[in-house]
Amino acid sequence: MRTVGVEEELLLVDPDSGEPRALSTAVLARAARDDADDVFERELHEQMLEFATHPQSSMEQLHDEIVRCRKEAAGHAGQIGCTVAALATSPLPVSPSIGVNRRYRWMEEQFGIATREQLVMGCHVHVSVESDEEGVAVVDRMRPWLPVLTALSANSPFWQGSDSGYSSYRSRVWQRWPSAGPTGLFGTPERYHRLVADMVATGVILDEGMVYFDARLSPRYPTVETRVFDVCLHAETAALIATLTRALVETSARAWRAGKDPLDPGVSMLRLAAWQAARSGLSGELLHPLTLRRSPAEDVVRALLDHTGEALADAGDLERAREGCARLLREGNGAQVQRALLEDTGSLRDVVTRCARQTQA
What is the tens place of the pLDDT at every residue in 97-124?
A: 999 889 999 999 999 999 999 999 999 9
DSSP tag of 89: S
Distance CA 295, CA 290 (A): 11
Do 182 and 271 form a contact (C-beta atoms < 8 A)?
A: yes
pLDDT band for position 292 (cuts 50, 70, 90): very high
Strands, DSSP E only, in 42-161?
A: 48-52, 83-85, 122-128, 158-159
Q: Is residue 259 over pLDDT 60?
A: yes
pLDDT band for position 67 (cuts 50, 70, 90): very high
pLDDT of residue 38: 79
The gap from C-alpha 63 to its chain's centroid, in whole angstroms, comes to 15
Query: How many residues in the chain?
Result: 361
> Minimal CA–CA distance to 278: which of 178, 176, 175?
175
pLDDT of residue 100: 86
Furthest CA-CA distance within the chain: 56
CB neighbour list of residue 115: distance below 8 Å, 6 or more residues apart: 44, 98, 104, 107, 108
Q: Is residue 12 over pLDDT 60?
A: yes
Q: Is residue 230 over pLDDT 60?
A: yes
Domains of the chain with bracketed CATH: 4-359 (3.30.590.20)
Q: HSE of 241 in the Cβ direction (CA atoms, 13 Å)?
A: 36
CB neighbour list of residue 107: distance below 8 Å, 6 or more residues apart: 44, 98, 115, 206
Distance CA 147, CA 143 (A): 8
Please compute the mean of the pLDDT values over residues 193-218 and round it to a whole number: 98
Q: Is residue 337 over pLDDT 80?
A: yes
pLDDT band for position 180 (cuts 50, 70, 90): very high
Do 30 and 320 form a contact (C-beta atoms < 8 A)?
A: no
End-to-end CA distance of the chain: 28
pLDDT of residue 33: 86
Q: Is residue 78 over pLDDT 70?
A: yes
pLDDT of residue 36: 56
Q: Is residue 211 over pLDDT 80?
A: yes
Please compute the mean of the pLDDT values over residues 140-146 and round it to a whole number: 98
Q: Is residue 361 over pLDDT 90?
A: no
* 83-85/48-52 β-pairing: unpaired
